[in-house]
């Protein structure tokens, strides 16, 4: 705690200039492999993280190395997962469906589900009827919104007008809607295709979030890769495109709270027996690599290196709570943000170890959100939030465990123990009777750094109990006692400290773009952070200009030492390194107050040795024009005095050396 209190004092001196810096897959046939949470295209190799949500009697789900055996119940269970970037504005989910023993029962369904909670979900299904024995009869959308399903949302076919819908939106195959190319010429799917579970087929759900006729919507269509009517000729068919406002702007009445929530996605079936689902591929159509730079937030960690080849960070913060690092260049004004890292190293269940994230707005408004271990069990003992709002860490904001609690004044720290029942397994934002509480202490296995766990931090700006809040949550990815990979999620914390503190007026940082970073505390070894991703986009890394400048200051200026002969020992190395730096680094070192002491020493050394600093390119040499005391917007006399003092210091040391001899 002393270190944390020290952090609050030290961070107040953090320069505000920090805020200005921004800057085909091969399947692994081993189900224990932890698949990275985000990638532009994921050919799934870990089926263990699918679970049945909204479970009702008769549902079943068997998970093997590379397939699901799934039986559903009419609108009462969905086999879904949270491991894909379903917050992307454009994505697709593809799978192969097959049941060789199926017979058409006359009202049979199979397809996709986008699940928010028990009250709100979108279903897009294929339907077989008795009067169509050779192919599907139609495509159907069945949507629930906040517990209701009749006349609570609208949809639009193609470029058509919005129409309020009842329970179903039917896309009849004999109504001219389906085509052989996307939005192409219509075909009669019932007579031109053979799409049967006994033969098997591939089906893909495509989703894009965009504006349709002035209303934010999810624009969807289904692609089926099956056969022509002869049952042997491969063919592709597309449903009509449907714009749906169920979770974005229902019936145009205003933006929904669900727009900021990450849904689970997966499958639905009913009356078709046990369907084998395999060859699952998720594609994030907009995920692109993001180039970011990295720098320490305040104090220098014991270890901090950036591998810009493998795009990994190595960090060790063993003695100071505030040895964190920032990532510059992330678009953190997004309503949704998720930062993922996969850990590696030898660190085990160290007593007092904390691994987490920093969310920083300014030196008076920030929070740390972290897992901690207690040295007893090889799983996190608890989760905590240390929050500072308007410079105080108690009583200046309110929080609630969403969706169960009323708001309460925040304390230092906010804490939820894992044996308190708060952790949720394989769920997104927990809600309702199937919140699936999971005691991570008994159901987790070796959830420590040395087991290559994944950790993620999410924030969604949303509305809770009529108040605009930030919904924060941590997740941990690793193995359970069943030897399958699972994700465990902390409770979602609705926090108003950076929006409308205490439910009052708007915070001055309401529209401030936060800085996101990593930290660990009490680690005994280096911890590696790899597979870094932000909102589904892999990150490429490099040191920031400021961090490279700090490296020169740390390694060559020796501000913690005052020894004899430094003009002859330290200065030659500093001079050579200085002249090899980029113009950008030299300019920052000369002009920024963070480096004033180091620059003064460099001036003193150079002056004592008869060198000068070129005011044009800032290179040091014996013959360069201009004065070494060059410093934009600063007193020339000040630096002349410093240079003189440096010269006197070196002469004194030289005379003393001669006397000694």
Q: Hey, is 551 helix, strand or coil?
A: helix
User: Tell me: the pLDDT tens digits for 7-35?
Assistant: 433 343 333 222 222 222 222 222 233 33
CATH number listed for the domain at residues 288-543 = 2.60.120
Q: Which residue has the higher pLDDT, 266 or 38?
A: 266
| 413: preceding bond cis by omega (within 30 degrees) | yes
Q: Look over the chain and give the mean of its residue pLDDT values, rounded to a whole number.
A: 82
Token pair of 119 as six digits = 């009250």
Query: Whole-angstrom distance between the N-terminal and C-terminal Cα of the chain?
Result: 53
Question: Does residue 490 contact residue 383 with C-beta atoms inside 8 Å?
Answer: yes
> Do 466 and 457 touch, CB atoms closer than 8 A?
no
Q: How far apart are CA 135 and CA 609, in angstroms?
A: 89
Distance CA(111)–CA(272), nearest Å, equals: 11
Contacts of 563 (CB under 8 A, 6+ apart): 569
Predicted confidence (pLDDT) per residue in 369-400, tens digit: 999 998 988 888 888 898 999 998 888 999 98
User: What is the mean predicted confidence (pLDDT) over 498-506?
Assistant: 96
- Which pLDDT belongs to residue 12? 38
Least confident range from 175-189, 327-341, 505-519, 646-660: namely 646-660
| CA 42/CA 37 separation, integer angstroms | 9
Element (H, E) at 139: strand 138-144
Is residue 114's pLDDT more than 60? yes
> Picking from 145-159, 405-419, 451-465, 557-571, which range would have the lowest pLDDT averaged per residue?
405-419
- Chain CA centroid to CA 265, Å: 17
Mean pLDDT on 343-354: 93
Please say whether the beta carbons of 297 and 360 come within 8 A: yes
Confidence of residue 542 (pLDDT cuts 50, 70, 90): very high
Q: CATH number of the domain at 43-284, out of 2.60.40, 2.60.120, 1.10.1060, 1.10.287? A: 2.60.120
Model pLDDT, residue 488: 80
Q: Domain extents for the chain?
A: 43-284, 288-543, 546-660
Mean pLDDT of 161-186: 83
d(CA 143, CA 593): 58
In the predicted model, what is the mean pLDDT of residues 629-641?
A: 42
The mean-pLDDT minimum among 5-9, 40-44, 440-444, 523-527 falls in 5-9
Angle at 170 between CA 169 and CA 176, to 5 degrees: 135
**What local confidence, expressed as pLDDT, does residue 654 receive?**
42
CA torsion angle for 66, 69, 75, 78 (degrees, to 10)? Answer: -30
The residue ranges of DSSP E strands in 173-289, in sequence order, are 193-194, 201-212, 215-228, 234-238, 242-244, 264-270, 275-284
pLDDT band for position 407 (cuts 50, 70, 90): very high
43-284 matches 288-543 in fold: yes
Note the pLDDT of residue 257: 84
409-418, 443-452, 586-595: least confidently modelled range: 409-418
């Amino acid at each position: 705690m002393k270190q944390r209190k020290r952090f609050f004092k030290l961070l107040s001196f953090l320069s505000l200039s920090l805020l200005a810096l921004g800057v085909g897959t091969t399947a692994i046939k081993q189900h224990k492999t932890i698949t990275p949470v985000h990638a532009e295209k994921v050919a799934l190799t870990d089926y263990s993280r699918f679970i049945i949500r909204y479970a009702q009697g008769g549902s079943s789900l068997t998970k093997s190395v590379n397939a699901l055996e799934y039986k559903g119940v009419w609108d009462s269970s969905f086999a879904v997962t949270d491991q894909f970037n379903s917050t992307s504005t454009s994505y697709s989910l593809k799978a192969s469906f097959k049941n060789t023993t199926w017979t058409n029962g006359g009202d049979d369904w199979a397809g996709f589900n986008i699940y928010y909670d028990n009250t709100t979900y979108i279903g897009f299904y294929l339907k077989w009827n008795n009067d169509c024995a050779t192919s599907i009869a139609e495509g159907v959308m069945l949507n629930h919104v906040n517990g209701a399903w009749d006349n609570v949302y609208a949809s639009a076919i193609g470029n058509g007008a919005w129409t309020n819908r009842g329970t179903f939106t039917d896309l009849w195959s004999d109504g001219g809607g389906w085509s052989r190319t996307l939005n192409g010429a219509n075909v009669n799917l019932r007579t031109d295709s053979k799409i049967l579970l006994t033969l098997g087929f591939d089906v893909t759900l495509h989703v894009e979030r965009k504006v349709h006729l002035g209303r934010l919507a999810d624009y969807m269509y289904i692609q089926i890769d099956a056969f022509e009517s002869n049952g042997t000729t491969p063919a592709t068919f597309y449903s009509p495109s449907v714009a749906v406002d169920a979770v974005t702007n229902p019936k145009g009445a205003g933006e929904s709270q669900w727009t900021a929530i990450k849904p689970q996605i997966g499958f639905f079936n009913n009356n078709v027996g046990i369907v084998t689902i395999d060859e699952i591929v998720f594609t994030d159509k907009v995920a692109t690599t993001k180039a970011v730079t990295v720098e320490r937030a305040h104090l220098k960690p014991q270890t901090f290196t950036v591998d810009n080849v493998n795009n990994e960070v190595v960090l060790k913060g063993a003695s100071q709570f505030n040895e964190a690092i920032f990532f510059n260049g992330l678009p953190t004004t997004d309503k949704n943000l998720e930062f993922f890292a996969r850990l590696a190293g030898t660190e085990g269940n160290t007593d007092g170890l904390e691994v987490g994230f920093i969310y920083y707005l300014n030196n008076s408004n920030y929070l740390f959100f972290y897992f901690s271990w207690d040295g007893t069990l090889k799983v996190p003992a608890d989760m905590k939030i240390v929050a500072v709002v308007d410079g105080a860490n108690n009583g200046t904001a309110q929080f609630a465990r969403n969706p169960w609690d009323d708001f309460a004044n925040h304390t230092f720290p906010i804490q939820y123990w894992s044996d308190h029942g708060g952790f949720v397994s394989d769920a997104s934002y927990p809600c309702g009777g199937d919140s699936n509480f999971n005691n991570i202490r008994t159901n987790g296995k070796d959830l420590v750094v040395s087991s290559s766990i994944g950790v993620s931090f999410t924030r969604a700006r949303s509305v809770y109990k009529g108040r605009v809040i930030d919904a924060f949550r941590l997740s941990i990815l690793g193995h359970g006692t069943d030897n399958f990979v699972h994700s465990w999620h902390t409770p979602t914390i609705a926090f108003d400290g950076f929006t409308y503190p205490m439910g009052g007026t708007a915070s001055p940082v309401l529209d401030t773009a936060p800085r996101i970073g990593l930290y660990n505390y009490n680690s005994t070894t280096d911890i590696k952070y790899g597979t870094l991703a932000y909102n589904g986009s892999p990150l490429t890394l490099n040191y920031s200009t400021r961090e490279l400048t700090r490296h020169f200051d740390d390694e060559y200026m020796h501000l913690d030492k005052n020894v004899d002969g430094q003009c002859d020992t330290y200065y030659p190395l500093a001079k050579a390194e200085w002249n090899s730096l980029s113009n950008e680094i030299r300019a920052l070192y000369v002009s920024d107050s963070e480096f004033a002491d180091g620059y003064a020493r460099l001036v003193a050394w150079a002056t004592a040795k008869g060198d000068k600093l070129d005011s044009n390119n800032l290179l040091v040499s014996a013959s360069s024009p201009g004065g070494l005391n060059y410093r934009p917007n600063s007193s020339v006399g000040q630096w002349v005095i410093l240079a003189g003092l440096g010269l006197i210091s070196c002469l004194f040391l030289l005379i003393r050396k001669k006397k000694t001899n």
